[in-house]
Every structure is written in structure tokens, then in C-alpha cells.
Chains A and B, each alone.
Chain A
């Protein structure tokens, strides 16, 4: 069983503040690291897929970095807005011989933006 850890488990942030949270994953057999955003009563939606050590991805006010050698990724949200409230999931894709198998998800960081 692969260990994908996310911290913190939950986070309350004032509107307008910036925030970040962490995903740690195995540093061996790395294939990709996914970030998903999951709003209540909806399905998870992909934010980023990161594959290379040192990768940085950005979508609007949200960005992510990747360190495959030490096995962690950070997700940053700049100037948080109420619509950013969601659970943010990271998922590790392991390389296994001929390709990859299913994603191993962390338990998520539940972000609440307070007006």
C-alpha cells in the first residue's frame, strides 16, 4: 500500500489571504502527481498533472510545485476567494513495469474560506 499524505487535514483561511498545503508521496517509481479539486456534492476535477522534478504549474490564482527526489508537492492559493472552498486531493501515479496502474489518493485538505 502506497503512502500519500496530505497536510493539514483542514484549513480555515480569511478571504484575501494566501495559503498553501502539502502532499507527500513515495520518492521511488515516480510517474506523476495529480492535484484535484473536489467541491461538495460534485465530482473531483483535475487541476494539475505534474511529471518532472522541479515542475511548476499555474492556473489563475492556484499554483503547484513538485519535488520528486524528496517526495513532496505544494499547492498554493493566492488571494483566497469563497469559491476556492473545496477539498484538494493529491494523487500519486506509480510507474510499474509496463506502465502505470491506478492513482493512489491522499485523504485531502479541506479548505474553507471565510468571508
Chain B
């Protein structure tokens, strides 16, 4: 059981480049989430998904797109990277979003946009 994995672990982009971050979970969880973590800001929700084929906006969705084509994968895309998107990105999943379901986090992807 790998839990939640993220690819890649590190990436450096130039302004305007695009990339996709991959999150995979093997726990058969319905819900998946993308957060970004910035110094002094805590974890902020970018987008989330309540099941295969669904996505919804979180607190800071601008500049990102997501897709959930398969239940186990949740992709985060940056179409035209900006320095403001330099951050550590965490993916998480939960079985559902009932009041007692905890979220399981991946190891993070450190992205630098120059």
C-alpha cells in the first residue's frame, strides 16, 4: 500500500511554461484534494474532487486546472506558470468527506517558477 504518491518531487519552471503534477492514491478514496503551502500562509485548498469525473474550486483556484479521469488519479495543471505559483504542492485524499473522514497526504512537490 503506497498510500498517496506525487510526481514529480521537485521541478523548476520558467515563467510561461506549463506542467502537470500527478497525484495517485491506492486506497480507493472518493475524495481528492490539491493544496499549496506557502511560508506564513498554511495549507490552502486549490481544487478538489468528490469522485471520478468531478472537480470543484477551492480557496485559490486561479491559474490552475485539474482533472480526475480515473478514480485513483488527480492531476493539477499549470498552463502558464508564474513566479507567484512557486510553492510546495500537497495532494490529499479521503474516503469520503463525512465528518469523521481524515485526509491522507502525499509527500509534496516543490515547484519553483523563475
B-binding residues in A (CB < 8 A): 1, 31-32, 34, 42-46, 49, 51, 89, 91, 93, 99-108
- B105 adjacent to A105 (CB under 8 Å): no
A49-B99, A102-B45, A104-B59 known, 16 other contacts, Cβ within 8 Å: A1-B59, A32-B99, A43-B4, A44-B43, A46-B103, A49-B100, A49-B101, A49-B102, A91-B43, A93-B99, A101-B58, A102-B58, A103-B43, A103-B45, A105-B43, A107-B40
Closest chain B residue to A6 by CB distance?
A: B42
In the complex, number of A-B residue pairs with CB atoms less than 8 Å apart? 61
Q: Is the CB of B99 within 8 A of A101?
A: no
Binding site for A on B (CB under 8 A): 4, 33, 35, 40-45, 48, 56, 58-59, 90, 97-108
Q: How far is the CA of A107 from the CA of B37 in the complex (A)?
A: 10
With beta carbons under 8 angstroms apart, the residue of A42, A43, A46, A101 that contacts B102 is A46
Interface pairs (29), CB distance under 8 Å: A1-B59, A34-B102, A42-B107, A43-B106, A43-B107, A43-B108, A44-B103, A44-B105, A45-B105, A46-B102, A46-B103, A46-B104, A49-B101, A51-B100, A89-B42, A89-B43, A91-B43, A93-B99, A100-B99, A101-B48, A101-B56, A102-B48, A102-B58, A102-B59, A105-B35, A105-B43, A105-B44, A107-B40, A108-B42
